[in-house]
Amino acid sequence: METEQNIDRILVVTAHPDDVDFGAGGTVRKWVESGIQVSYCICTDGDAGGADPNVPRSEIPGIRRREQTEAGAALGVTDIHFLGYKDGDLQVTQDLRRDISRVIRQVKPQRVLMQSPERNWDRIYSSHPDHLAAGEAAIFSVYPDARNPFAHPVLLQDEGLDAWTVSEVWVMGSPEVNHYENVTQFFPHKLAALTAHESQTAHMEDLEGRIRHWMTATAADAGLPDGELAESFKVVNTA
């Protein structure tokens, strides 16, 4: 695993607004406070989300972009790239791979945080079909696309974006975990980010208790003392 001293820029690739905040909000804040530039690439606008039937569906994409922008600000993230694909129908297409590769070449991250392309039967909510597709497209973009100057030629020839090699990938929601982050002190930031997604979380009973319960169990898996909170990942060398 790369040391934090070797990391200046991290790109997070997710399917929907709020995915990063549920999966890694504490870790993102921890990175930001250490001086790392964190950027987001959100594949869909979450237009199939929302819990209020009285809100016109046409308004949901704009609402969810605004919520993700506010949630990012709560964690210290302001560079957010929305790709605008249709929620609930994300496919691993060449277009999606090209668009994620574009953001990788723009941001030039040493590390990419992504969703798992493998179904996790123990945490089925992490394995939404869009999550699986976003994870698969993200790893294809990390390798081989973004580092290959001849992949998606429009990126280099028309847009002047040179190839870029991502050294490391962190996977959220993976059925295999090999790394934990103690994010106890950053729990208020994670909760603030999740609360910003009002269309998704305002109806949830005891959001704080639910999130704290999950993170307490993860901390126990990591062997941390009682009262600590953690997030888990699979870390993969992709250099």
In this structure, are strands 111-115 and 9-14 parallel, antiparallel, or unpaired? Answer: parallel
* CA distances from residue 99 to 56, 85, 102, 204 in whole angstroms, order as listed: 29, 10, 5, 33
Per-residue pLDDT tens digits of the chain, which is 239 residues long: 877 778 999 999 999 999 999 999 999 999 999 999 999 999 999 999 888 888 898 899 999 999 999 999 999 999 999 999 999 999 999 999 999 999 999 999 999 999 999 999 988 988 999 999 999 999 999 999 999 999 999 999 999 999 999 999 999 999 999 999 999 999 999 999 999 999 999 998 999 999 999 999 999 999 999 999 999 999 999 99
- Domains of the chain in sequence order: 4-237 (3.40.50.10320)
Q: What is the pTM of this model?
A: 0.97
